Amino acid sequence: MERTQHHLGYPYNLDFDYGALGQLQHFSINNLGDPFIESNYGVHSRQFEVGVLDWFARLWEIEKSEYWGYITNCGTEGNLHGILVGREVFPDGILYASRDSHYSVFKAARMYRMDCVKVDCLVSGEIDCADFKVKLLANKDKPAIINVNIGTTVKGAVDDLDFVIQTLEESGFSQDRFYIHCDGALFGLMMPFVKRAPKVTFQKPIGSVSVSGHKFMGCPMPCGVQLTRMKHINVLSSNVEYLASRDATIMGSRNGHAPIFLWYTLNRKGYKGFQKEVQKCLRNAYYLKDRLRDAGISAMLNELSSTVVFERPIDEDFVRRWQLACQGNIAHVVVMPNVTIEKLDDFLNELVEKRSTWYQDEKVRPPCIAADIGSQNCSCALHK
């Protein structure tokens, strides 16, 4: 309980109540193989799994008859699956991903022995499409498999999907020569409820989308949702006599509790509930960013994000106490539905108090993080 109280750095919504589902712990619920095909194992939650998948199919605008998907054990598995489908569609394709992509994307490249090209980022963390174009043109003879970030891990940056597609077309890649996987781990579920946000939709030439279930939705066990086009899945699947089912998933046994938890929260909150929670998160993120800047602390917040990036605290005990995620000279707070203004005030007051002791000696100064967040967001002595 104490660790939950002081949790700010990772994108998990810790505000949930699944008391009504307590009786499920008496069952070993296993969704083996394909969610759409019955297996011989009878203790499963396939109806709930398909219900959750249908909900996301509506959100991302693809007909029931045209999609295939399943509930994964985590966000990484969604990326592993999406990139595997891309590799099976284009066996000689090159994987392109921005440097700020989640580490699981590069893990997939290693596992599948794929050629992987890292693309530069803008200061915001968004993919740099000028550099993307240069790298595409250098490999014009090979199909492109692209990972598009719907919210990067560290800065919460959203890659411009329309600009990525435009860059591919301008570089001579027709739609039959590229495959796009959208990693929407955190923000894939938040973005549809943000006014002005670009749409992630299967109406555009994308191949797959994945989102985590234990992040914004708030599920007590790691899980995720992965959707792709039905036409792609036939290259991956094989019939398994032992299961009396087909399997195109990464894992064999899959957590059958997770679909029921996800189904429960989707139905309890609905579109309106998620919309309210997204607006609250964005409001509170702006509050945190403004208070940090008012206190003379370097801070950045991307327009479509609830991830506030700021200078890394120099005291590791403070970092551990608030479970902050750090990289180099920067740290971040991910403002989720369980992060209240009161909790942010406690964090800010403690941070300001600690900084006054860290930097009381003139020889020790806050770091310049202009290279990470842009000079306009940096409050170091040079950029004040």
- CA–CA dist 308, 243 (Å, integer): 46
The C-alpha R_g of the chain, in whole angstroms, comes to: 22
- CA–CA dist 110, 366 (Å, integer): 38
Please check whether residue 205 is in contact with residue 177, taking contact to mean a CB–CB distance below 8 angstroms.
Answer: no
Please check whether residue 138 is in contact with residue 176, taking contact to mean a CB–CB distance below 8 angstroms.
Answer: no
Please check whether residue 306 is in contact with residue 156, taking contact to mean a CB–CB distance below 8 angstroms.
Answer: yes
Output the CA–CA distances (angstroms, integers) from residue 148 to 88, 161, 210, 253, in the order listed.
Answer: 18, 7, 11, 28
Report DSSP letters for 63-124, one per residue.
Answer: -GGGEEEEEESSHHHHHHHHHHHHHHHSTT-EEEEETTS-HHHHHHHHHTT--EEEEPB-TT
Give the residue carrying structure tokens 């803008």: 122
Helix axis angle for 46-59 and 257-294, nearest 10°, is: 40
Nearest CA-CA partner of 101 in 121, 74, 130, 72: 121
Residue 317: partners with Cβ closer than 8 Å, 6 or more residues away: none
Residue tagged active-site, from 305, 306, 356, 375: 305
Query: Element (H or E) spanning 210, and its range?
Result: strand 208-212
Please indicate whether residue 245 is annotated as part of the active site. no
Catalytic residues, by residue number, are 305
